[in-house]
Amino acid sequence: MYYIGIDIGTSSVKVLAIDEAGKIVKTVSREYPISYPFPLWSEQNPNDWWEQSKLALKDILEYIDKDKVKSIGFSGQMHGLVILDSEDNVIRPAILWNDQRTESECRFLNNDIGKDKLLSWTANIALNGFTAPKVLWVKQNEPDNFKKIAKICLPKDYIAYKLSGEFATDYSDASGTLYLDVKNKKWSDDMMKILDIDENKLPKLYDSFSAIGTIKKDIATELGLPTDVKIVIGGGDQAVAAVGGGIVENHHCSISLGTSGAVFATSDEFVMEDEGKLHVFCDARGKYHVMGVTLSAAASLKWYVEDFLKASSYDEVLTEVEKSDIKENVYYLPYLSGERTPHNDPDAKATFLGMTVRHERKDMTRALLEGVCYSLRDCYELMHEVGINPKEIIINGGGAKNDFWCQMLADVLHTKIKKLDINEGPALGAAILASVGDGKYSSVSNACQDIIKTTKEFTPDEVSSKIYSEKYKKYKSLYPMLKDFFSSL
């Protein structure tokens, strides 16, 4: 038997198949473009997701017995706005999670409606990336498009709808819309009134491991699959990456060191940070999680190596940083796309500080890696404030491939970090959820205990941790000093 996970990422779709023992059989990726039509805008064509998902599925089905595919699960980039008309046509390009156009809408929600009300209704405050401000933006700037809306989808839910014909979402992904009552797991009546949308325009809510239906007959025929293949709704990428990392018990913690960086911790009970600096979402196991996000984690390294340095290889740059001195006071603020946690400031800018004539490239590289770690520590410190104190962290994402960066993060957070034997994150989590939705496992926890293994540990070095703690204090002082300057640019 086979279970397939589909991860609708920002730059590509990844499709992964596991067998009944949980072993990865094959992984396939297909890229699609991102459009930046105006400053701060970030859009994609949902039909590109669909076409590339079908091609990736066809590729992966060449390697397995199609008749033994039991279910398909999903993970997806969160917060994206996909709007369909009454004939299920996409009305306009999807507005993505990293789009920053909604500053005035967020100001209206946070200031005019009020953060206290938003927190009581949804457990979160308005951020540029969230879906609700995007809905308001369309209403205010594209009224003709707003009038056409018959369905409002999130990215992965659009693909699930195309495969199954079921208009559905899950609690974890819905948590990032800012119109879900997270604590009570239902659409917020108050937020729907503010957005001027009816509940019939919103998908039905499910747990992430729920089968919402079976594959449509015409799609089954096109792909050569049985018509009884179950479609399991899955969840938002961070929640599903946590499943792919085995983060399924109370106060488990993971860090995703991907394009963006996320500190994710589970909680069996609903908890909330008073000022809304942490996201409080439902998780993929049917309970809750809190999460802090830095918008440019591995994206900072990619920009630095490819665009700024125009270096021939990452290895060249990352190898020399190991010879740099930890005591150098060069700092980097990783705000290439503004910042989310804890500042919620789209005007924040990436900045190098403290360089002198004697500093070299290796010192800048170290500062960049440290800056991302400090930004993640900002998130981690907030976890402690709500009573979550993990004993260890599971790390995933592309940045986790570099052991030096993993050790640095363990030292900065003063917490043991473990690396997975397989670093497939959301796609693997989606396949695991598919197996639970098919009944292979009785719970997400049982599935992960059977499938997920760790290989390498990074234990904090006490001397380095003390040095980083002192440098972190200096790092924390920089944003308050530069905030007004950023906003004036």
* End-to-end Cα distance, the chain: 57
DSSP letters, 426-454, are: HHHHHHHHHHHHTTSSSSHHHHHHHH--E
Q: Write out the two tokens for 124.
A: 């979160």
Tokens 């390697």 locate to: 63
Q: What is the rounded CA–CA span in Å between residue 115 and residue 276?
A: 8
φ/ψ (deg, to 5) at 259: -50, -55
Cα–Cα nearest to 79, from 102, 55, 59: 102
Q: How far is CA 166 from the centre of its chain?
A: 24
Looking at the chain, the number of H-run helices and the number of E-run strands are 17, 24
Residue with structure tokens 């990422």?
A: 9
Is residue 131 within 8 Å of residue 102, measured between CB atoms?
Answer: no
Q: If you write DSSP's letter for every residue of 322-366 in order, what string do you get?
A: TTS-TT---EEE--BTBB-TTT-BTT---EEE---TT--HHHHHH
Which uninterrupted H or E stretch holds 220? helix 217-223
Contacts of 428 (CB under 8 A, 6+ apart): 5, 16, 18, 24, 243, 244, 422
Two tokens, residue 11: 């730059």
Task: For residue 473, count other CB atoms closer than 10 A to its CB.
Answer: 10
N residues, the chain: 489
Which residue numbers are catalytic? 237
Q: Check residue 459 and report its DSSP letter.
A: P
Integer Cα distance of 418 and 396 in angstroms: 9
Q: Are 271 and 320 in contact (CB under 8 A)?
A: no
**126 contact partners, CB below 8 Å, separation of at least 6:** 105, 106, 109, 110, 118, 132, 133, 178
Other CB atoms within 10 Å distance of the CB of residue 347: 17
Cα separation of 178 and 198, whole Å? 15
